[in-house]
Structure 1
Amino acid sequence: MKYVGNLWDKEAMGKRLDDLVLVEQQGITFKMFYVLLPPSLPAFPSPRTFVVLPPRSSPAFPSYIISRNSVASDEVQAHMGMFEPTQNDGYYELGLETARIIREAAARSGQMHSTVPI
């Protein structure tokens, strides 16, 4: 439970996110994919996630990327099956978005290195 408890420690999460924003400002890409389950009436009238999201006002919030999954029965199943195409109907979109982020990071890296005098 000690490990899992860290997931709900908002103060520690805020510190980690602040650190990641600083690192990203130095050119290192940070993105956080999280699973979003759609509402499922009557038990769950609102969308659900496995994570505690930072406030929308947080500088880290734009780094959080939704991965929709409408086949998982609950948040844990969605999280555990995130990278399994049979358990996540958003699997291929997740892969395409990941490839896009890697492409952009590689392009930025190339631009950064091309401006450094040798």
Structure 2
Amino acid sequence: MKFDELNENNYLLFAIKFYNNPQSVTMEDFQSDLKRIRYVKRLLKKYKNGGELKTHLILNHLIILFNVFDDAAVPLLFYNFEEDLWPLIKSFLIFLNRLPEYPISKIHDIVEDFNCLSQLQLI
């Protein structure tokens, strides 16, 4: 199956296709890993609404996502996040050196959150 664009109909198939966790033996393990996207989203929303940026916790979730979904984690993240959170997640991707260079897409036009980047550079 070719995935030109993620949508509600092919999102789960995309996630399953690129899921690679040798320790996962059940559907619950897969769903648990997929829930990490929602955890990151929730943490970024809290920060966006005036809360604290929990960089270490977000980084932990993102690293696990990249471990089990590899490069497919990037489209999964951007699909699940509202556009107002895109600058924040792009900042984390830049910090982790996981922003894809090719193909050039809308992601490259997003201006990263400089406050977020400055907090990440303190690590």
Q: Relative contact order: is structure 1 or structure 2 higher (C-alpha 8 Å, sep ≥ 6)? A: 2
Give TM-score, length-normalised by structure 2: 0.30
Give TM-score, length-normalised by structure 1: 0.31
Which structure has the highest strand share of the two?
1
Structure whose alpha-carbon radius of gyration is higher: 1
Which structure has the highest helix share of the two?
2
